[in-house]
Chain A
Amino acid sequence: MNDPTSLSLTQTIDGLAKKSFSESDLNKAYGDRIKKLNPGLNAFLEVKENSKGIPAGIKDLIAVKDMQMTCGSKILEGYTAPYNATVINKLIDNNVSFIGKTNLDEFAMGSSGENSAYGSAKNPWDKNKVPGGSSSGSAAAVAADLCTFALGTDTGGSIRQPASLCGVVGLKPSYGRVSRYGAQAMASSLDQIGPLTKTVADARKVLEWISGPDAYDSNCVKSYFKSTKRLKDLKGITIGIPKLKNQKGSDAGLDIGVLGVMEKAYQKLKELGAEIREIDLPHTEYALAVYYIVMSSEVSSNLARYDGIRFGSTREKFGDEPKRRIMLGTFALSTGYFDDYFIKAAKVRTLVKQDFEKAFEKCDVIVGPVSPTVAWNLGEKISDPLTMYLSDVYTIPASLAGIPGLSVPCGFANDLPVGLQILGKYLDEDTILSVGELYENATDWHKQKPRLQAPERSNGGQAKL
């Protein structure tokens, strides 16, 4: 028997159907691998041994009944979820079991994983590098073959960016595509649950499982995602590439190595038959500023529930990043500043959304980098919040517009993975998944795996570097 932990979700489903291995073999193989590698990666905050089902990792701000749910925060240390999130019930209906709760930046606030109150997850490609965030543990766990697939959440890039930095597939569905009932709310007009997977086909499969209307999330659309599109090539598909300009506000700068990888990826899409067209998204230079007002305002309201009465500790247990964002949002909503900050940002958000609507009159999908750089050193940006925020400059515009985005492995720069971002029209996940899958089938970036060794001695879940 081959090691089933190296298989994708669709291969795993096939393997089980053909009885190449049993569910018990599968769970044992993943459990053993977690025991060996998690001490060095800190991808899981809680591990649960099962003998049945397809083992998935779940970001530790999505409720799984009778498992912990810390949200990466000391304020929820010891909290046990009393019910299942809607996505969890949907996965159970599809024979998925939950092998662990994955690490994350506290309350999903961060781009590196380092804001976790339980120690940062590590990048499986280089344990001195960040895995990205906020779905840091989900991305690291999938990259290291510690689960068949994982769920994360994406508010401004928190699925796509760690997927890119860890070399796995990450899908942020359209806003409203998937119920958020049972996920800790961060910014309610932006949050979305989605999969981190080993292949694009896996992401499609998970989206089919978890999408659909839910009476417990009124923002959910009334339809289910059903994939109907399978392209043979990209003939007839127009791909938009945003003009690169040295925007003030994105001067975190696109790394030259990442740019080189991107140009090769665009070339490959062209070889597959796509027509490439330059497009203009003139208001994206404002997206990051809009995001930090809108998101922080919604955060300040959503985290007001932490009063230490019904659950959780008192508010002094919040870490620095939640405190910063709560204060920024409180300021933006306060008397005298509401119109100048919150309303202004909400108006500019309209312009960002309209940019995409206009662009999609001329193209079917938009491609570009997920992250301006590959994974950086642990500790490098942690004392400068603004520099950290700038690492989300390419993922945030789609979040504001509510459109779907996919990160697909597309190469390496400095031996670290680079992700190609594919954005689509609202509710048109089918097209971005089809384009992503064709690209994936024509390349073998996704087959490359990090070389991992167990740490010599573990010290209670924290990595020994």
Chain B
Amino acid sequence: MKNKKPEVVGAFDTKHIAKLANLILSDQEVDTFTLQLVSILNYIEHLNKADTNSVDATYNVSPNKNETRKDTASVCLTQDEALQNSTNTKNGQFVTKGVFKSE
């Protein structure tokens, strides 16, 4: 990623990113966030100076390997507790948006 700066930042499409992030923004928000995010991304560009040619990525610093447990039921929330913070329930279940109707 040598000196890709101008086009990467120039290509920052706030509306597209907001759609990917499932956020609805006002026009005013699009303008403000674009300025702020481009300034943050410009700052981040200086990562390019770090030589990472023979470096592995670090995603987690815990020494633990994959953790598994027996596939058995254990204590969990009751149905009432699980539903207590939802505003839209029916017959003891969450009401969700229809998958096929939404488009």
- Measured CB to CB, the residues of A under 8 A from B are 79-80, 82-83, 175-176, 189, 215, 218-221, 248-249, 283, 285-286, 288-290, 292-293, 300, 304, 307, 309-312, 315-316, 318, 320, 323-324, 326-328, 330-331, 334, 337, 339-341, 343-351, 353, 385-386, 389, 401-402, 426
**What mask results when residues 59 to 73 of chain B are scored 1 for a CB within 8 Å of chain A, else 0?**
111111011010000
CA–CA, A292 and B47, complex, Å = 11
CA–CA, A80 and B1, complex, Å = 47
Q: Is the CB of A350 within 8 A of B14?
A: no
Q: Is the CB of B62 within 8 A of A348?
A: no
Among A189, A290, A320, A386, which residue has its beta carbon within 8 angstroms of that of B59?
A189
Q: How far is the CB of B7 from chain A (nearest CB, A)?
A: 11
Q: Which residues of chain B are within 8 angstroms of A328 by Cβ–Cβ distance?
A: 37, 40-41
Q: How far is the CB of B31 from chain A (nearest CB, A)?
A: 13
Among A219, A248, A249, A353, which residue has its beta carbon within 8 angstroms of that of B62?
A219
B90 within 8 A of A: no
Q: Is the CB of B61 within 8 A of A316?
A: no
Q: How far is the CB of B1 from chain A (nearest CB, A)?
A: 4
Within 8 A of A (CB), among B8-29: 8, 12, 14, 17-18, 20-25, 29
Q: Is the CB of A290 within 8 A of B47?
A: yes
Among B17, B62, B66, B88, which residue has its beta carbon within 8 angstroms of that of A176?
B62
CB nearest to B52 among chain A residues: A347
Q: Which residues of chain B are within 8 angstroms of A311 by Cβ–Cβ distance?
A: 85-86
Q: Which residues of chain B are within 8 angstroms of A386 by Cβ–Cβ distance?
A: 36, 39-40, 43
Q: Which residues of chain B are within 8 angstroms of A324 by Cβ–Cβ distance?
A: 33, 36-37
Q: How far is the CB of A405 from chain B (nearest CB, A)?
A: 14
Q: Is the CB of B47 within 8 A of A331?
A: no
CA–CA, A339 and B48, complex, Å = 12
B101 within 8 A of A: no
Given that A248-B46, A286-B46, A289-B44 are known contacts, is A340 also in contact with B8, CB under 8 Å in the complex? Answer: yes
CB nearest to A344 among chain B residues: B47
Q: Which residues of chain A are within 8 angstroms of B56 by Cβ–Cβ distance?
A: 347, 350
Q: How far is the CB of A224 from chain B (nearest CB, A)?
A: 16
Q: How far is the CB of A12 from chain B (nearest CB, A)?
A: 33
Q: Chain A interface secondary structure, helix, strand, loop or mixed?
A: helix
Q: How far is the CB of B93 from chain A (nearest CB, A)?
A: 11
Given that A248-B46, A348-B47 are known contacts, is A323 also in contact with B25, CB under 8 Å in the complex? Answer: yes
Q: How far is the CB of B10 from chain A (nearest CB, A)?
A: 13
Among B52, B60, B61, B81, which residue has its beta carbon within 8 angstroms of that of A348?
B52
Q: Is the CB of A215 within 8 A of B69?
A: yes
Q: Which residues of chain B are within 8 angstroms of A221 by Cβ–Cβ distance?
A: 62-64
Q: Is the CB of B14 within 8 A of A327?
A: yes
CA–CA, A290 and B57, complex, Å = 12
CB nearest to B1 among chain A residues: A340
CA–CA, A323 and B49, complex, Å = 29
Q: Which residues of chain A are within 8 angstroms of B99 by Cβ–Cβ distance?
A: none
Q: Is the CB of A330 within 8 A of B17?
A: yes
Q: How far is the CB of A247 from chain B (nearest CB, A)?
A: 10
CB nearest to A285 among chain B residues: B46
Q: Which residues of chain B are within 8 angstroms of A310 by Cβ–Cβ distance?
A: 82, 85-86, 94
Q: Chain B interface secondary structure, helix, strand, loop or mixed?
A: loop
Among A82, A189, A345, which residue has its beta carbon within 8 angstroms of that of B82?
A82
| 24 pairs of residues in contact across A and B, judged by CB atoms under 8 Å | A83-B77, A189-B60, A215-B69, A219-B64, A286-B50, A289-B43, A304-B22, A307-B22, A309-B86, A309-B96, A316-B24, A320-B29, A324-B36, A326-B21, A330-B20, A340-B1, A340-B4, A346-B58, A348-B52, A348-B55, A349-B57, A350-B55, A386-B36, A389-B40
Q: Is the CB of A175 within 8 A of B62?
A: yes
Among A330, A343, A349, A389, which residue has its beta carbon within 8 angstroms of that of B21?
A330
Q: Is the CB of B86 within 8 A of A345?
A: no
Q: Is the CB of B61 within 8 A of A249?
A: no
B91 within 8 A of A: no
CA–CA, A324 and B60, complex, Å = 24
Q: Which residues of chain B are within 8 angstroms of A248 by Cβ–Cβ distance?
A: 46
CA–CA, A401 and B49, complex, Å = 20
Q: How far is the CB of B12 from chain A (nearest CB, A)?
A: 7
Most chain B CB atoms below 10 A, which of A175, A221, A344: A344
Q: How far is the CB of A217 from chain B (nearest CB, A)?
A: 9
CA–CA, A348 and B21, complex, Å = 26
CA–CA, A304 and B23, complex, Å = 10
Q: Is the CB of B84 within 8 A of A351?
A: no
CA–CA, A347 and B48, complex, Å = 11
Q: Which residues of chain B are within 8 angstroms of A343 by Cβ–Cβ distance?
A: 57
Given that A176-B64, A289-B44, A323-B25 are known contacts, is A350 also in contact with B36, CB under 8 Å in the complex? Answer: no
Q: Is the CB of B23 within 8 A of A318?
A: yes
Q: Is the CB of B23 within 8 A of A351?
A: no
Q: Is the CB of B81 within 8 A of A353?
A: no
CA–CA, A353 and B60, complex, Å = 11
Q: Is the CB of B47 within 8 A of A345?
A: yes
Q: Is the CB of A80 within 8 A of B47?
A: no
Q: How far is the CB of B98 from chain A (nearest CB, A)?
A: 12
